[in-house]
């Protein structure tokens, strides 16, 4: 049996003196391709991974909810009646972690779903703040938990939108839909190809002989709000200068014909986005053909583009990527997520994955004096009851 499942069940029984009625699981995610294009109406290709939040929960007999964050050894009680205030039962401000589950209750209430009070314990093996979307996993876990206890119907994409709204408005973090989408809609052994404009998506099979290896540089992501906002405005300006509503509507050919009309910085940012959108579409075509080598080359191109055009890499990410590419069996390596630290994602022959992970870690430490975490991941199912 899964040890996180056992852990939440045990802590739930010790805390609430009964057996939990529901057990839920919600995965983190890693993005294979389509970086910094979600806010440009582009295509993304994430995978829900086999690292997840586990929740044990039951309807509460009390008029308030009690939540235990087992990993932080913290407990919070709150009443639905006081939402949207961000305070606990005693009127004290909620700790940061509690805003994610309480925000989910808020988003459900706002959408017209009544949420019952619940007792819940949760734990997770998605590293926090590394770019594998531990926050979306918490949200998709709690939306599923509240859905199970309240007994209403909502499809995975609707749950993803509710989670995004909770994070955008209640927690106050400006994220796109990709993370919640991947956690909600994940499919075992498949990548998820999402059109961020229409929210149409399809699951694309991953070859069984490749592993997804995620390497955390141990450099905290420090994409300051200003750097992120600078890139967003550059994209908006680029679209405006092309007379388009977003860069999604600018083809690579059109960009090439007119790029000299853009200020150089805007041209670099826009070039990444325009090419990355095309690259991701092409990569899905290659993946469907099982052409892992060509797919991996596009991952490499994506890294170069993020490094040189979008300028969101850093020394450690480049070092990690360069070491990875020196191994046989590594098809592609690139930074994943917002950048300036965090993780790389690598596509590696399954038979080489263990060795790759071990040597990548030790050679990275030799080069940087930092201790990375390396995870061999597989694509897993999205959030739901187990």
Strands 190-195 and 118-124: unpaired
217 scored as a contact of ligand ADP (CB under 6 A): no
**Cβ nearer to Mg ion, comparing 131 with 372:** 131
* Shortest Å distance, C-beta 69 to ligand ADP: 4
Phi, psi for 89 (deg, rounded to 5):
-60, -30
Stretch that binds ligand ADP, among 65-73, 191-199, 201-209, 234-242 (CB under 6 A): 65-73
* Shortest Å distance, C-beta 135 to Mg ion: 3
- Is residue 140 within 8 Å of 163, Cβ to Cβ? yes
Among 31, 40, 58, 135, binds ligand ADP (CB under 6 A): 135
Q: What is the DSSP string of 189-255?
A: TEEEEEETTT--EEEEEPPTTEEEEEEE-SPPP---HHHHHHHHHHHHHHHHHTT-SSGGG--HHHH
* Shortest Å distance, C-beta 221 to ligand ADP: 7
183 scored as a contact of Mg ion (CB under 5 A): no
96 scored as a contact of ligand ADP (CB under 6 A): yes
Strand intervals (E) in 60-207:
65-69, 74-78, 118-124, 190-195, 201-205
Task: Find, among 357, 359, 355, 358, the residue nearest to 346 by Cα.
Answer: 357
Q: Which of Mg ion, ligand ADP, none interacts with 117 (beta carbon under 5 to 8 A by kind)?
A: none
Residues in contact with 41: Cβ distance below 8 Å, sequence separation at least 6, in sequence order: 196, 197, 246, 247, 248, 249
Stretch that binds ligand ADP, among 121-129, 154-162, 252-260, 363-371 (CB under 6 A): 121-129
Peptide bond into 84 cis (omega under 30): yes
133 scored as a contact of ligand ADP (CB under 6 A): yes
66 scored as a contact of ligand ADP (CB under 6 A): no
Stretch that binds ligand ADP, among 57-65, 77-85, 134-142, 242-250 (CB under 6 A): 134-142
Q: Which two tokens stand for residue 341?
A: 């630290």
* Shortest Å distance, C-beta 220 to ligand ADP: 10
* Shortest Å distance, C-beta 311 to Mg ion: 22
- Cα–Cα distance between 134 and 116 in angstroms, integer? 25
31 scored as a contact of Mg ion (CB under 5 A): no
If binding means CB under 5 A, how many residues of this protein chain bind Mg ion?
2
Instruction: Please state, in angstroms and as integers, the Cα–Cα distance from residue 324 to each residue in 203, 253, 296, 333, 363, following that order.
Output: 27, 32, 12, 7, 9
- Cα–Cα distance between 40 and 265 in angstroms, integer? 17
Q: Which of ligand ADP, Mg ion, none interacts with 138 (beta carbon under 5 to 8 A by kind)?
A: ligand ADP
* Shortest Å distance, C-beta 99 to Mg ion: 12
**Is 179 a known active-site residue?**
yes
Q: Which two tokens stand for residue 119?
A: 């007792």
69 scored as a contact of ligand ADP (CB under 6 A): yes
Binding mask 126-165 for Mg ion (x = CB under 5 A): -------x-x------------------------------
Catalytic residue selected from 38, 41, 125, 179: 179
What is the H or E stretch that residue 156 is in?
A: helix 156-165
124 scored as a contact of ligand ADP (CB under 6 A): yes
Where do we find the tokens 């699951």?
203
- Cα–Cα distance between 251 and 249 in angstroms, integer? 6
**Which residues would be at the binding site for Mg ion (CB under 5 A)?**
133, 135
Residues that bind ligand ADP (CB under 6 A): 69, 71-72, 96-97, 100, 124, 128-135, 138
Give the catalytic positions in this structure: 179
């Amino acid at each position: 049996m899964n040890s996180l499942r056992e852990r939440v069940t045990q802590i739930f029984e010790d805390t609430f003196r009964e057996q939990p009625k529901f057990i839920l699981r919600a995965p983190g995610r890693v993005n294979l391709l389509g970086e910094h294009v979600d806010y440009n109406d582009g295509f993304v290709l994430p995978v829900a991974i086999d690292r997840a939040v586990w929740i044990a929960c039951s309807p509460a007999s009390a008029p308030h909810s009690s939540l235990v964050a087992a990993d932080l050894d913290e407990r919070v009680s709150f009443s639905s009646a006081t939402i949207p205030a961000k305070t606990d039962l005693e009127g004290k401000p909620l700790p940061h972690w509690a805003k994610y589950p309480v925000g989910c209750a808020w988003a459900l209430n706002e959408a017209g779903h009544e949420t019952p009070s619940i007792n819940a314990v949760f734990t997770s093996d998605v590293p926090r703040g590394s770019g594998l979307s531990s926050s979306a996993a918490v949200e998709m876990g709690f939306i599923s938990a509240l859905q199970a206890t309240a007994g209403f119907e909502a499809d995975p994409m609707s749950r993803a939108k509710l989670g995004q709204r909770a994070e955008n408005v209640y927690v106050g973090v400006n994220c796109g839909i990709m993370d919640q989408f991947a956690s909600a809609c994940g499919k075992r052994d498949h990548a998820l190809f999402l059109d961020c404009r229409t929210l149409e998506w399809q699951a694309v099979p991953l070859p069984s002989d490749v592993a997804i290896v995620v390497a955390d540089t141990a450099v905290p992501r420090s994409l300051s709000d200003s750097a992120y906002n600078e890139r967003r405005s550059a994209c908006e300006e680029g679209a405006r200068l092309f007379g388009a509503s977003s860069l999604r509507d600018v083809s690579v050919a059109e960009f090439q014909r007119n790029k000299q009309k853009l200020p150089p910085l805007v041209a670099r940012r826009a070039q990444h986005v325009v090419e990355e959108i095309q690259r991701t579409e092409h990569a899905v075509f290659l993946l469907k053909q099982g052409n892992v080598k060509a797919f991996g080359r596009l991952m490499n191109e994506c890294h170069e583009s993020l490094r040189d055009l979008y300028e969101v890499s850093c020394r450690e990410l480049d070092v990690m990527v360069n070491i990875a590419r020196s191994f046989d069996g590594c098809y592609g390596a690139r930074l994943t997520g917002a950048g300036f630290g965090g993780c790389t994602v690598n596509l590696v022959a399954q038979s080489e994955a263990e060795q790759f992970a071990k040597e990548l870690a030790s050679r990275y430490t030799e080069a940087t004096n930092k201790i990375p975490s390396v995870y061999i991941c597989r694509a897993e199912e999205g959030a739901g009851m187990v």
